[in-house]
A and B are shown apart, each in its own frame.
Chain A
Amino acid sequence: MSHLTADSERDETTDSPEGLQAAKAPIGTGILPILGLVWSLVLLALGVVALHDSLVYAGAVSDSLWLEDAVSWADNRAAADWMVVVGVLAALVGLWLLLIALRPRPRNEVALRARTGVFLTTTGLRRLVTSTCSDVDGVDTVSVSASRTRVRVSAAALSGQADETRGRIDEAVNTRLAALENPPAVRVQVKTSGGTV
């Protein structure tokens, strides 16, 4: 019922029949730009090394040749145990980077039912559900985790009221999230001082 009233309100209040078209859903960046920043600094550092050595060749700077030093260090070298340690660490970092490089861009927002794109952040979703649960009769404390598809509520309730409280939480949260385009699945776990029921 509440959606119907909201919809009719919306129609009355919209002066322009078209409004703005909804933009593409927001999308996060994750950690990749920070990695890109690091690689660009590495590139810069390599360039500085090359310029340093070319200045030394030109006689403008009197210093040892860094690249030659590096190649001399690596030349005529036998395999050593530390290389295994460093190598395994490098491979682990490489695997982590591989995962990040192949992961799609993160989406951290859920769409609200609205004419123009209105999105709720998953952090916002968690806070909203936490607030909703805290207002439910019988709930002492509550902790919530939320993603775009799933909301998990675990609440502590007064002893002997676990079932009723769970029902109330379920109803309150689902009512609250009815405004979402695709409401996430809600799972409620209620503990009383006697343990999980």
Chain B
Amino acid sequence: MSRTTYAIDRVASFIVALVLIAAGVFAVLWRFDLWGRLPERTDLSAIFDVMAKGWWSWALSLAGILLVLLGLRWLFAHLPGRGVGELNLPGTGRNGRLRFNAKAAASAAADVLAQAPSVRSAQGTVRRDRGQLVVDLRTTVEPDADLEVVAAAADKVVADLASVMDRHDIYGRVRVDVASGTQSRIARVNS
């Protein structure tokens, strides 16, 4: 999902909110006659007049197609991005392209990180996030992990990845989660 989609969601929610609030206020004003200029009964004859026009059915089909297309476009914009697969290496030119599989590099880095002390598991992806090409490592550590050791291990893995990829426009990020319980850490005492 892109930032644009997020912004559209926000604006649309804002508009729907205003419409709902206005409808509620209007209903109360109308029912309790707090706004004298409101008519006793609704009169929608103007709408019937428009619907009787010759162009109405054409306009309706056009509007229908547009709404369905827009709705589908908006719906599919919410699908999660597939992430970035291959990237160019420096030196790519007319004579040939140097490509490397960034996704594979990221998951290899994650595998290395998973070997660090008190790290339970790690996954790696490459994706575009707010205008940056980001190597995103996610790791789950044990509840008794030493954060400094984890941070140092993450730093080392990302630094190695940087020297492998040799591109300076790539950003790194490691997200650390903590497992909800240690695996049989407590020594049992039999009485």
Is B truly associated with A? yes
Name the one of B72, B152, B160 contacting A114, with C-beta atoms under 8 angstroms.
B152
- Minimum Cβ distance to chain B for residue A38 (Å): 9
B173 at the interface (CB under 8 A from A): yes
Q: Which residue of A lies closest to B23 (CB)?
A: A90
Asked if B21 contacts A33 (CB within 8 A), the reply is no
Interface size on A, residues (CB 8 A): 96
Most chain B beta carbons < 10 A, residue from A9, A36, A54, A68: A36
Contacts of A102 in B (CB 8 A): 14
Contacts of B158 in A (CB 8 A): 19-20, 115-116
Evaluate whether A24 and B154 lie within 8 angstroms (CB atoms) in the complex, with A47-B66, A74-B42, A94-B24 already known.
no
Asked if A46 contacts B67 (CB within 8 A), the reply is yes
Contacts of A57 in B (CB 8 A): 56-57, 60-61
* Chain B positions 35 through 75: 1 when the CB is less than 8 Å from some CB of chain A, otherwise 0: 00000111111011001000011101101111111111011
A118 at the interface (CB under 8 A from B): yes
Contacts of A119 in B (CB 8 A): 173-176
Name the one of A45, A80, A92, A176 contacting B31, with C-beta atoms under 8 angstroms.
A80
Question: Could you tell me the distance between the alpha carbons of A115 and B163 in the complex, rounded to whole angstroms?
Answer: 15
Q: Which residue of B lies closest to A19 (CB)?
A: B159
Interface residues on B, range: 35 or more
Asked if A79 contacts B30 (CB within 8 A), the reply is yes
A154 at the interface (CB under 8 A from B): no
Contacts of B176 in A (CB 8 A): 112, 118-121, 124
Contacts of B26 in A (CB 8 A): 87
Most chain A beta carbons < 10 A, residue from B11, B146, B171: B171
- Minimum Cβ distance to chain A for residue B142 (Å): 8
B78 at the interface (CB under 8 A from A): yes
- The segment out of B81-89, B90-98, B130-138 that lies at the interface is B130-138
Question: Could you tell me the distance between the alpha carbons of A121 and B178 in the complex, rounded to whole angstroms?
Answer: 8
A88 at the interface (CB under 8 A from B): yes
Asked if B162 contacts A16 (CB within 8 A), the reply is yes
- Minimum Cβ distance to chain B for residue A143 (Å): 14
Q: Which residue of B lies closest to A94 (CB)?
A: B20
- Minimum Cβ distance to chain B for residue A3 (Å): 7
Evaluate whether A13 and B171 lie within 8 angstroms (CB atoms) in the complex, with A35-B9, A44-B75, A47-B64 already known.
no
A67 at the interface (CB under 8 A from B): yes
Asked if B42 contacts A101 (CB within 8 A), the reply is no
A interface list, Cβ under 8 A from B? 2-3, 6, 9-10, 13-16, 18-24, 26-27, 29, 32-33, 35-37, 39-54, 57-58, 67-68, 71, 74-81, 83-84, 86-98, 100-102, 105, 109, 112-121, 123-125, 127-128, 130-132, 135, 176-177, 179-180
